[in-house]
Amino acid sequence: MEIYNRFTDNDGYCNAYITCASTSKAAMAIDDVIIGAKSAEQEANFKFKLHKKSVIDTGGLPYHITFVVGKHYVITTNIDVTDGLCNGAVGKLVHLEFDESNTLITVWLEFCGSDKVGRKKRQKAAALAVQNRVGNLAVPIELRTANISLTSDRKCIAKRKHFPLTSALALTIHKSQGGTFDEIVYEYSKAHSQELVYVALSQHLLIDLVRERVSVIENKNTDTNTNSKKLAAWADLLCSFNSMCKGGTRTLPQIKSQWSIIKMTKKKIKSVERKNLRQTGGGPHPTTNPENADDIC
């Protein structure tokens, strides 16, 4: 995983690498359906502008994707927040599913860091997973549709149908926050603030170290034996962190404070996503446990 400071650097790396990939891949571009254009010329102009727009402005659906089996992709819109399939989740492509006409209809991803991501989706698609001979951790991602406003009065729109994914071979530092990856590559520059450098490196390390000890560190019990194990786990984590992160020695209160911020950030993001889901007619599943907002995912 390459981590960049600027989106343009990140996007350029992804495009260059994907283009040169020699493994199994499939390219997919779409033809937007324009509704309300006053002329063929205006329709062509709208389509040209659409191709240049960011996924932020197109309902999370890109114009073009090249899928390469074995590479990572990031979800660009909220599919099912309660199932962990939300904007920013990163997964490795393990299978491409085509229909009888050789049209790509489903991509299967295995998500990094937690088997909780897509658990409900996997259960519903268990039989389909067997048919496609994919592992039990693979999650199917289907095509989605978005209506994109092209004029301020919303009388002219574009209908786009595509996969809500983009390449995650490289991510910006901010986009990578909270993620856990087997390996990362970060090219340091003096122009980068120390805060960005710290975010790029230490946060990923801390999440990995906590994950190894999470059953002890996040234990809610307060008895003497549990507290003793917690202290030992934190002390061991601090030693590992300082030996692996060369950006200066950290104290235990600093490490605990950083971990609290990471958890709080995740909790706020999930709260906002659930609020947005309710406002759009969705909402958390009635069996959703609110304590899961603090889960490491």
What are 202-235's pLDDT values in tens digits? Answer: 666 777 778 788 888 888 888 999 999 999 999 9
Calculate helix-pair angle for 194-217, 224-244, nearest 10 degrees.
150
Question: Which segments of the chain does DSSP mark as H helices, in order?
Answer: 7-20, 40-52, 119-124, 126-132, 173-176, 194-217, 224-244, 252-279
Position 256 scores a pLDDT of 85
Cα separation, 282 vs 291, whole angstroms: 20
| CA-based nearest residue to 142, from 121, 159, 158, 111 | 121
| CA-based nearest residue to 81, from 289, 284, 294, 295 | 284
Position 232 scores a pLDDT of 92
What are 62-79's pLDDT values in tens digits? Answer: 988 999 998 889 999 999
Please state, in angstroms and as integers, the Cα–Cα distance from residue 195 to each residue in 12, 124, 199, 243, 290, following that order.
24, 42, 6, 20, 31
| CA-based nearest residue to 162, from 250, 293, 32 | 32
> Which position has the higher pLDDT, 3 or 98?
98
CB atoms within 10 A of CB 123: 10
Cα separation, 159 vs 155, whole angstroms: 13
pLDDT at 285 over 60: no
What are 82-105's pLDDT values in tens digits? Answer: 998 988 888 899 999 999 999 999
| CA-based nearest residue to 28, from 60, 1, 84, 67 | 67
pLDDT at 28 over 60: yes
Cα separation, 2 vs 176, whole angstroms: 10
Sign of CA dihedral 107, 7, 269, 203: positive
Give the residues across from 75 on adjacent strands. 165
Q: What is the chain's alpha carbon radius of gyration, rounded to the nearest angstrom?
A: 21
Least confident of 140-144, 169-173, 255-259: 169-173
